[in-house]
Chains A and B, each alone.
Chain A
Amino acid sequence: MPLSIETFNYASYHNLDEIYDFMDLLAAEKPSLVSKIQIGRSYEGRPINILKFSTGGVKRPAIWIDTGIHSREWVTQASGIVFAKKLLDGYGKDASVTSILDHFDIFLEIVTNPDGFAFTHSKNRMWRKTRSINSGSSCVGVDPNRNWDAGFGVAGSSGNPCSETYRGPRANSEPEVKAIVDFVKSHGNIKAFVSIHSYSQLLLYPFGYTSKKAADAQELDALAKKAVDALSSLHGTQYKYGSIITTIYQASGGTIDWTYEQGIKYSYTFELRDTGRYGFMLPASQIIPTAEETWLALKVIMEHTRDHPY
């Protein structure tokens, strides 16, 4: 049966080729709304693709959502696929999505670490990092959430290439990170940035590398509360929220610390289900409920961004 947007199985995990094919299907389904953009190439040469949802305008303010920066957290890429379908279906039908897309572009990067993701399907399901070769070490890969130029190298990441939180030889050493950095800088008008991980049911905002409070901490905290209330209203899933360093631990070189320091006020990280039954080995049966509840929180953040221009 030819694959189509309607026959695609959203309640199952997919490999890299299937996700990239899905992105092409989506762009073909509604080219007036959706386009696929390649923003770079991974260390092993795979295209780094994002979806752009736009109803017109030039350099409109934009919202960025990414999933799968830690490749083994499969429920995040699977949720990204569901978000893409909701944006496609929602425009013109869902008042909130329509209003957001009438004012903002939305960029969605479903597979933010394609080399690592391909490796989880082919060789090692537990792989988390990139697949770059570390000179002088037999250990491979850098933690792409420790490689950003925000507190890079301070406590909260490792200098050991064999560690799962290895920061890399320098900030932005990973092409997967550099591609986003370059895109964000060249676009220059991104107003919200959400990076999605799993697991442990948390909604986090800057900072992670320092105990210094973010200038907008009060607003970010209030918005996080509103978002997690919306999330738990669907299935009762309980989330905690707060700054990275006060809620979990010191983590340096992190994505949203960098985006916040670029001036993107609404910078958030999600840690999706669960709290400790399956960890990131979440059964496929939980993909849809996880994505649905997360979508409610994402809409709260996107609506707030729409209603609070800065």
Chain B
Amino acid sequence: TENFVGHQVLRISAADEAQVDKVKDLEELEDLQLDFWRAPVHPELPIDVRVPFASLQGVKVYLESHDIDYSIMIEDLQELVDEEQLHMSRRHF
């Protein structure tokens, strides 16, 4: 089973089309293994992306170097997955 230790979900707020395009450039880099929960479309809509631990530092540096605002929507994804599993198993008793 895949685990998501260290994965974070970032909420990116692109200020304009140019910044949306910058995020789209990230989407093309398959080896970053990014999983867009909400795709980069236009500035009015937030962009949510799951970032594996190995890519986290690089992605954050990239966003900051292009002055693209982001926040951490989910600090530790594996924690949520574990909670979910615990809740489901507890249901059996």
Contact = CB atoms under 8 A, between A and B. Distances in A.
Contacts, number: 60
A34 B35 CA distance: 39
B48 A279 contact: yes
Interface stretch (A107-115, A121-129, A252-260): A121-129
B1 interface: yes
Interface string A239-274: 000000000110000000000000000000000000
B1 A122 contact: yes
Contacts of A91: none
Contacts of A15: 88
B73 A162 contact: no
Interface string B25-56: 00000100001111101100110101000000
| Main secondary structure on B side of the interface with A | mixed
Interface residues of B, number: 27
A278 interface: yes
Contact of A164 (B4, B9, B36): B36
Interface stretch (A43-51, A166-174, A205-213, A280-288): A280-288
Interface residues of A, number: 25
A136 interface: no
A276 interface: yes
A281 B84 contact: yes
22 contacts: A9-B91, A12-B91, A122-B1, A123-B2, A124-B2, A125-B4, A126-B2, A126-B35, A162-B30, A165-B39, A249-B39, A249-B42, A276-B46, A276-B48, A278-B74, A278-B80, A279-B73, A280-B37, A281-B74, A281-B84, A283-B84, A284-B87
